[in-house]
Structure 1
Amino acid sequence: MAFVPVLCESPALWGPSAEISISKASLLLKKLKKLKIHSNWTVIGVFSPHNDGRPWHPRLRLGLNHSSRPFPLESSASAVVMPSSIRIAHGIGSLLRSRSRIDVASESTPPCSRSFILIEASIGDFHPVLLVQSHSAWSGYEFYQSLEISHLLVFDYGFKTWEWDLAKIRSPIHPYFFSLGYWLLKVSNLDQTNLLVIVPKIFQAIIASLIDLGTFHLASNLLNQNYSIAALACSLTCFFNAYTSIRTSSNSLETALLTWSLALWPWDPNHLNLSCSKFIISISLIFGAFLIRPSSILFSSSLIFYLLLKSNLNIKLDILAWLIVIGFTSCFLGFLIDSSFYGEPTFTPLNFFKQNLLNKISNYYGSNPWHYYFSQAFPFINLSFFPTVLIGLFPLSIPQSPLESVHQITKLQSARFVIFSTIIGFSFLPHKEFRFIQPLVPLFNIFAARAMVNNHTRQNLSQTQLTHQHNLEGSLKFRLPSFIFRSIISLGLAFYLMTFHYPAQISVMSYLRSLPNHQLKSIGFLMPCHSTPWQSHLHKPHLAPNGSLEPMWMLTCDPPLNFSNNSLQSNQSAFSNQFKTAPFENYIDEADQFYLDPQEFLLKYFPKHVNPTFPPTNKSNKSYQWPSHLVIFEALWKLNGVRNILEKLGYQVVWRASNSRWHDDPIRRGGSVMVLKWKN
Structure 2
Amino acid sequence: MSSSSPSPSPPPRSRSRPARQLAVFSIHSTIFLSLISLRILNAVTVRTFFQPDEYFQAIEPAWNLAFGNGGWLTWEWRHSLRSAAHPLLFAGLYRAVSFTCTVLHVSEAQQAEALAIAPRVLQALFAAMGDWATARLAGVLWGSDVGWISLCLSLGSAWGWFCGTRTFANSLETVVTALALSVWPWRWATADRSRPRQQRSEVRFAMGLAALACVLRPTNILVWLALGAFAVWNTNGRRRVILVAEASWIGAAVFMANALIDKAYYGEWTFPPLTFLKFNVVHSLSIFYGRNDWHYYLSQGLPLLLTTFLPLALYALYCSLAIGRTSSPAFQLASTIVGVVATYSLIAHKEVRFLYPLLPLLHVLSAKSFQDLSWSTKTKNRVLAGMILLNLPVAYYTSMVHQRGVIDVMQHLGATSSEWNSAGFLMPCHSTPWKGALGGALDKKDMWALTCEPPIDMEPEVRAAYVDEADQFYADPKAFVQKFVGDGKRYKWPERLAVFEALVKEDAGKSLWGGLYEECWRGFNTHWHDDDRRRGDVVVFCLRDEMDGKEPVEMVVSEMF
TM-score clears 0.5: yes
Question: What is the aligned partner in structure 1 of residue 434 from structure 2?
Answer: 534
The one-letter code of the counterpart of 2:448 is: W
Distance 1:479 1:115, change over 3 A: farther
What residue number does 1:153 align with?
A: 65
Q: Indicate if the aligned counterparts of 1:294 and 1:352 stay in contact, CA closer than 8 A.
A: no
- 1:418 Cα shift? 1.1
CA RMSD of aligned residues (A): 2.7
Please tell me whether residue 355 in structure 1 is matched to residue 279 in structure 2.
Answer: yes
Q: What does residue 178 of structure 1 align with?
A: 90
Q: Distance in 2 between matches of 1:496 and 1:280?
A: 42
SS of 2:333 mapped into structure 1: helix
1:262 positional shift: 0.8
Distance 1:439 1:347, change over 3 A: same
User: Structure 1 residues 516 and 442 mapped into 2: Cα distance closer, same or farther (>3 Å)?
Assistant: closer
Question: Is 1:263 aligned to residue 128 of structure 2?
Answer: no
- In structure 1, give the amino acid aligned to 2:337: I
Match of 1:660 in 2: 526
Q: Distance in 2 between matches of 1:413 and 1:626?
A: 61
Matched residue, 1:276: 200
CA distance in 1, matches of 2:266, 2:428: 28
1:289-343 deviations in Å (ceiling 9; x for gaps): 1111111122221221222233335443332222221121111111100010111
Name the SS for the 2:81 alignment partner: coil
2:410 is the alignment partner of 1:509: yes
Q: In structure 1, how many angstroms separate the alpha carbons of the residues matched to 2:351 and 2:387?
A: 24
How far off is 1:246 after superposition?
1.0
1:651 to 485, 501, 517: 517
TM-score under structure 1 length normalisation: 0.71
Q: Which secondary structure does the structure 2 equivalent of 1:655 belong to?
A: strand
The alpha-carbon distance between structure 1 residues 222 and 389, as it changes in their structure 2 partners (threshold 3 A), is same
Contact 1:197 1:536 in 2 (8 A): yes
Residue correspondence of structure 1 range 557-636 to structure 2 within 5 A? 557-562=452-457, 582-607=461-486, 623-636=490-503
C-alpha distance in 1 between matches for 2:389 and 2:145: 23
Amino acid at match of 2:456: L
Secondary structure of the residue that 1:137 maps to in structure 2?
Answer: coil
Matching residue of 1:9: none
1:485, distance to aligned residue in structure 2 (A) = 2.1
Separation in 2 of the partners of 1:205 and 1:341? 26
Letter matched to residue 192 of structure 1: A
Find the aligned partners of 2:339 and 2:326 in 1 and give their Cα distance: 20
2:121 matches 1:220: no
**What's 2:358 paired with?**
440
Q: Could you give the per-residue CA deviations for residues 516-563 of structure 1, whole angstroms, max 9, x where no partner exists?
A: 44x32211110011111111134256646xxxxxx311111111113x
- SS of the residue corresponding to residue 518 of structure 2 reads strand
Match of 1:395, SS state, is helix
Q: Is the 8 A contact 2:337 2:358 kept in 1?
A: yes
Q: Which residue number in structure 2 is paired with residue 90 of structure 1?
A: none
Contact 2:518 2:543 in 1 (8 A): yes
- Contact in 1 for aligned 2:417/2:442 (Cα 8 Å): no
TM-score, length-normalised on structure 2? 0.86
* CA–CA separation in structure 1 for the residues paired with 2:326 and 2:288: 44
Q: Which residue of 1 aligns with 2:77?
A: 164
Q: What is the deviation of 1:606?
A: 2.3
Q: Quick one: structure 1 residues 647 and 422, their matched pair in 2 at CA, closer, same or farther if it must change by over 3 Å?
A: same
**1:377-431: CA deviation from partner (whole Å, max 9, x where unpaired):** 11221111111112222324789xxxxxx99981111111111111111111111
The amino acid that maps onto 1:372 is: Y
Q: Is the 8 A contact 1:510 1:537 kept in 2?
A: no
Question: What are the Cα deviations for residues 255-280 of structure 1, in whole angstroms up to 9, with x where unaligned?
Answer: 11111111111233425878611111
CA distance in 2: counterparts of 1:214 and 1:656, whole angstroms: 43
Measure how far apart 1:124 and its partner are.
1.3
1:523 aligns with 2:427: no
Give yes or no for contact 1:205–1:246 (8 Å, CA) kept in 2.
Answer: yes
SS in 2 for 1:451: helix
- Structure 1 window deviating more from structure 2 (347-356 vs 670-679): it is 347-356
Aligned pair partner of 1:670 in 525, 535, 550: 535
Confirm or deny that 1:303 pairs with 2:227.
yes
Q: Say if 1:389 and 1:445, in contact at 8 Å, map to a contact too.
A: yes
Whether 1:552 aligns to 2:447 is yes
Q: Distance in 1 between matches of 2:392 and 2:30?
A: 21
Q: 1:388 to 1:588 in 2, by over 3 A?
A: same
Instruction: Supply the distance in 2 between the matched residues of 1:206 and 1:582 (Cα, whole angstroms).
Output: 48
Residue 450 (structure 1) aligned to one of 343, 368, 372: 368
Change (3 A) 1:636 1:398: closer
Tell whether the 8 Å contact from 2:499 to 2:538 is kept in structure 1 after alignment.
Answer: yes
Q: How far apart, CA to CA, are the structure 2 residues paired with 1:179 and 1:226? A: 40
- Correspondence for 1:57: none
Structure ranking higher in helix proportion: 2
Q: Structure 1 counterpart of 2:340, which letter? A: T
Change over 3 Å in CA distance of 1:238–1:408 after alignment to 2: farther
Aligned to 1:125: 37
Distance 1:321 1:211 in 2: 28
Distance in 1 between the 2:60 and 2:396 partners? 25
> Partner of 1:558: helix, strand, or coil?
coil
Q: Aligned partner of 1:558: which letter?
A: E
Q: Residue 214 of structure 1: CA displacement?
A: 0.9
Question: Which amino acid is 1:180 matched to?
Answer: G
SS at 2:520 equivalent: strand
| Structure 2 contact 341–355 (Cα < 8 Å) conserved | yes
Supply the distance in 1 between the matched residues of 2:462 and 2:135 (Cα, whole angstroms).
Answer: 47
Q: 2:502–2:533: 8 Å Cα contact kept in structure 1?
A: yes
Q: Which runs of 5+ in 1 are unaligned?
A: 1-67, 73-110, 400-405, 461-475, 545-550, 563-578, 612-616
Number of the residue aligned with 1:392? 316
Q: What do residues 330-380 of structure 1 show as CA deviations (whole Å, max 9, x unaligned)?
A: 111111000101111122122112212212211211121222112221122
* Correspondence for 1:638: 505
Deviation of 1:478 after TM superposition, in Å, equals: 3.3
Deviates more, 1:199-208 or 1:598-607: 598-607
- Displacement of 1:495 after TM fit? 1.1
Change (3 A) 1:126 1:343: same
Q: How far apart in 2 are the matches of 1:226 and 1:270?
A: 23
For 1:640 and 1:450, how far apart are their aligned partners in 2?
58
From 235, 243, 251, the counterpart of 1:319? 243
User: Residues 542, 533 of structure 1: CA spacing in aligned structure 2 closer, same or farther, 3 A cutoff?
Assistant: closer
Check 1:599–1:409 CA distance in 2 against 1; reply closer, same or farther (3 A cut). same
- Report SS of the residue matched to 1:662: coil
Matches within 5 A, 1:491-506: 491-506=392-407
Give the whole-Å Cα distance in 1 for the aligned partners of 2:269 and 2:348.
Answer: 30
Partner of 1:91: none
2:52 to 116, 140, 155: 140
Of 221, 236, 257 in structure 2, the residue corresponding to residue 333 of structure 1 is 257
Match of 1:78 in 2: none
CA–CA distance in 2 between the matches of 1:676 and 1:311? 67
Structure 1 CA distance for aligned equivalents of residues 310 and 508 of structure 2: 47
Match of 1:501, SS? coil
Q: What amino acid sits opposite 2:284 in the alignment?
A: K
Question: Larger Rg: 1 or 2?
Answer: 1
